[in-house]
Amino acid sequence: MERSISPDSVLLLKTAQAAGVTTAWDRYESQLPQCGFGETGLCCRHCLQGPCRIDPFEATGPKYGICGASADVIVARGLARSVAGGTASHSAHAKHLAHTMLKYGRGEAPDYGIKDQDKFYAVLARVGIARDGKSDQELAGELAQLALAEFSEREEPPVWLETTITPGRMEKFKRLGLIPAGLDAGVADVMHRTTNGVDADAVNILLGAIRCAIGDYTGMYLATDLSDILFGTPTPVIAGANLGTLKEDAVNVAVHGHNPVLSEVIVAQALGMEAEAKAAGAPGGINLVGICCTGHEVMMRHGIPTATNSLSQELAIVTGALDACVVDYQCIMPSLPEVAAKYHTAIITTMPIAKITGATHIEFDEKNAGEKAREVLRLAIEAYKKRDPAKMNIPPVTNDALAGISAEAVIKVLAQVNPDDPLQPLIDNIVNGNLLGVCLFAGCNDVKITQDKTFVELVKALAAENVLILCTGCAAGSFARHGLLTPAATEKYAGPGLKAVLTALGQAAGLDGPLPMALHTGSCVDNTRAASIAVALANKLEVDVSQLPVVATAPEAAMEKAVSIGTWAVAMGLPTHVGVVPPVTGSPLVVQVLTQTAKELLGGYFIVEPDPKAAVAKMVGALKERRQGLGI
């Protein structure tokens, strides 16, 4: 199998092989063939009597685990725990931001403040905190307390859920018992009911997983709100992409992981340390780049280039030009110090819950954030001095990428067309057929399929069908690396209706050409930005999201976080495509619930389709079905 179609990855994979560096792709091959029981979800290790396996092929093979759990129960439990893993990750990210805001409110976080007061006040109003002449600092403390209260057991529905979805959806969730008792409570509930001897009804377990995923949505929404308040709501910005954004003459520092709490301070401190870098022999000063979602956070707020994605993170080191990689948490390969041992790169961990053996740990906290950021950058400058020019091999591949299209930015552009009613032009163009509908691209690269191939095929085909594309996280990173976040891509690939709409919006935004073919909506937690646009459309039309011609896709999904996001997308009413077969095929019942019953219950459902052409046909079919339902 071809490993990647990303030109920089292709070049560096050859370099890695020549240098004897083992990458995720090599380790994947060493795992083959992967265990069929695991692949189909038919393996359980939830108690010490296991592992138990169900044999789906041989009539004489075991059909029940030792405790009596059936294939359906084992598969549903496994999936539910993935959703809990994803939800716990996003929720920890959200809580981290709430704690930062709380510390700011107490005067214990000198490097932080309120960057977007308009959004701050808008969120306060939405969640029901009256300003009453209080200072921003006091209000920040109140908002943080309210945010933290979302996570534990509570009697009232989570505020960030109730105030951000359509009334109809809220009603439906209440009726189906799908409101989590709290965001962490949803995770704990799944862990409880999936342990030995609790829930032994596959459908009931899946409902628990959906409830947990609705908590995931809530935490993600909250995280985006707090990030925007603390660090600014993104506005359109042109940045670079690919590993060619590393510079030969600069101290190259990658910020990698997910949470902007650390990377924002590094960005702020880097400016003040340019002279130090130059004195160390780097005329280009400090060159910051991003990897994974931390990369997207700083890309959309500061125009910092996105170097690469999760799957190809090791290749950033293989350029021989990366002086430091500073990480927070999530999607960071434990192999980084091993790869770095062959080069000069300093791998720096910063979070108490995310250390890596072999890395340098500089523990970060908000009280002394600036000082810690300078310590990190100083280590990068020291590492730069050890760079070996003979090992340097920066691929000559860069692309421009327009990023920072927050929901607020979308509304602002639309308001140029119709100041009184910004959403109307979008609705008009959906109704008149210029736009067939909207597709949100999300999710990861997955080593099991050729990196970026499905992303690129799918996005070109959907754009040709006049589908408006939003993208986040590694999907946005993938498009950036292939030059698809550009006006030129619109000219080349968009169908006539989409091109006309993006050109009109581009003109309204004061650009020379159309808006990019895909709109970079942020990091993975920012998938809720796209959801908020869909909710605004639904509310204006007085319908539910489940009636809108909107679909989602994670064509190269890999992580548990993608599973929890996909699950809440379905819960919100979206047909949701996945291009990698999740470990559920061992239970026809679970497959049926996810792909069919969910549609009857929630309007949203999973479309599992690895073949790109067939996937496009199914998504276009889903959009047309929705249009028909609306009579357009």
- Pick the piece of the chain touching ligand SF4 (CB under 6 A) from 11-19, 65-73, 471-479, 557-565: 65-73
To the nearest 10°, the Cα dihedral for 504, 510, 516, 520? -120
Which of 46, 81, 119, 301 contacts ligand SF4 by CB under 6 A?
46
Identify which of 578, 538, 567, 576 has the alpha carbon closest to the alpha carbon of residue 217: 567
Q: How far is the CB of 473 from ligand BF8 (least distance, A)?
A: 4
Verify binding: residue 444, ligand BF8, rule CB under 6 A: yes
Centroid of chain to Cα 308: 14
Tokens 């308009």 — which residue?
118
Could you give the 3-state DSSP secondary structure of residue 324?
Answer: strand
Q: Which does 559 bind (CB under 5 to 8 A by kind): ligand SF4, ligand BF8, none?
A: ligand BF8
Site size toward ligand SF4, by CB under 6 A: 13
Sole window of 17-25, 49-57, 346-354, 493-501 interacting with ligand SF4 (rule: CB under 6 A): 49-57
Residues 302 to 361 in contact with ligand BF8, rule: CB under 6 A: 309-310, 331
Position 407 contacts ligand BF8 (CB under 6 A): no
Residue 75 engages ligand SF4 in binding (rule: CB under 6 A): no
Of the candidate spans 124-132, 347-355, 377-385, 554-562, the one that interacts with ligand BF8 by CB under 6 A turns out to be: 554-562
Give the tokens for residue 513. Answer: 């050409």
Return d(Cα 82, Cα 89) in angstroms, integer: 11
| Cross-strand pairs, 386 | none
Of 523-552, binders to ligand BF8 (CB under 6 A) are: 524
Beta strands in 52-94 (DSSP E): 52-53
Using CB under 6 A as the binding rule, whether residue 614 contacts ligand SF4 is answered as no
Asked if 67 touches ligand SF4 (CB under 6 A), the answer is yes
Pairing of strands 286-291, 251-257: parallel
Collapsing DSSP states into helix, strand and coil, what is residue 476?
helix
Q: Does residue 559 bind ligand BF8 (CB under 6 A)?
A: yes
Task: Return the DSSP state at 157.
Answer: P
Please tell me whether residue 79 binds ligand SF4 under the rule CB under 6 A. no
> What residues between 506 and 525 interact with ligand SF4 by CB under 6 A?
none
Of 236 and 443, which has the nearer Cβ to ligand BF8? 443
Per partner kind, with CB cut-offs from 5 to 8 A, the member of ligand BF8, ligand SF4, none near residue 481 is none
Q: Considering the complex, state which of residue 71 and residue 109 has its C-beta at the smaller distance from ligand SF4.
A: 71
CA distance 105 to 95: 15
44 binds, among ligand BF8, ligand SF4, none (CB under 5 to 8 A by kind): ligand SF4
Give the residue with the Cβ less far from ligand BF8, 13 or 559: 559
Least Å from the CB of residue 221 to ligand BF8: 15
**522 is an interface residue for ligand BF8 by CB under 6 A:** no
Using CB under 6 A, pick the residue from 3, 95, 99, 561 that binds ligand BF8: 561
**Quick one: which segment of 62-70, 317-325, 525-533, 581-589 binds ligand SF4 (CB under 6 A)?**
62-70
Q: Which does 292 bind (CB under 5 to 8 A by kind): ligand BF8, ligand SF4, none?
A: ligand BF8
We find the least distance from the C-beta atom of residue 47 to ligand SF4, in angstroms, to be: 3
Q: Which two tokens stand for residue 70?
A: 């059936």
Does residue 196 belong to the site contacting ligand SF4 (CB under 6 A)?
A: yes
Q: Which is nearer to ligand SF4, 196 or 585 (CB)?
A: 196
- Give the interface segment with ligand BF8, choosing from 63-71, 345-353, 510-518, 556-564 (CB under 6 A): 556-564
Sheet holding 467-472, edge to edge: 518-522, 467-472, 437-441, 550-554, 575-578, 605-608
Is residue 235 within the footprint of ligand SF4 (CB under 6 A)? no
Q: Is 474 in the site for ligand BF8 (CB under 6 A)?
A: yes
- Could you give the strand order of the β-sheet that contains 346-349, starting from the edge strand earlier in sequence? 360-361, 346-349, 324-327, 251-257, 286-291, 306-308, 237-241, 399-403
CB 229 within 8 A of CB 116: yes
**What is the 3-state secondary structure of 536-599?**
HHHHHHCCCHHHCCEEEEECCCCCHHHHHHHHHHHHCCCEEEECCCCCCCCCHHHHHHHHHHHH
Residue 195 beta carbon to ligand SF4: minimum distance, rounded to whole angstroms: 7
Q: Which of 41, 215, 395, 473 binds ligand BF8 (CB under 6 A)?
A: 473
Q: Which is nearer to ligand SF4, 70 or 597 (CB)?
A: 70
Please report, to the nearest 10 degrees, the dihedral formed by the alpha carbons of residues 118, 569, 493, 460 taken in order: 140
575/577 Cα distance (integer angstroms): 7
Residue 474's binding partner among ligand BF8, ligand SF4, none (Cβ under 5 to 8 angstroms by kind) is ligand BF8
Backbone angle region of 437, left / alpha / beta, with phi > 0 → left and psi within -120 to 50 → alpha: left
Q: Is 128 left (phi over 0), alpha (psi -120 to 50) or beta?
A: left
- Beta pairing class for 52-53 and 43-44: antiparallel
What phi and psi, each to the nearest 5 degrees, are found at residue 290? -120, 150
**If contact means CB under 5 to 8 A according to the sort of partner, which of ligand SF4, ligand BF8, none does residue 430 touch?**
none
From the list ligand SF4, ligand BF8, none, pick the one residue 280 interacts with, judged by a Cβ distance below 5 to 8 Å according to partner type. none
Name the binder of 67 from ligand SF4, ligand BF8, none, CB < 5-8 A by kind. ligand SF4
Closer by beta carbon to ligand SF4, 36 or else 168: 36
Of residues 245, 255, 250, 268, the one with CA closest to residue 381? 250
Q: Quick one: which of 11, 12, 161, 292 contacts ligand BF8 (CB under 6 A)?
A: 292
Q: Is residue 293 a contact residue for ligand BF8 (CB under 6 A)?
A: yes
Q: What is the DSSP string of 501-544?
A: HHHHHHHHTT-SSPPPSEEEEESGGGHHHHHHHHHHHHHHHTS-
Q: Is residue 558 a contact point for ligand BF8 (CB under 6 A)? A: yes
Give the chain's end-to-end CA distance (angstroms, integer): 43
Question: Given the rule CB under 6 A, which residues bind ligand BF8?
Answer: 258, 292-293, 309-310, 331, 443-444, 473-474, 524, 558-559, 561-562
Question: Given the rule CB under 6 A, which residues bind ligand SF4?
Answer: 44-47, 49-50, 52, 65-67, 69, 74, 196
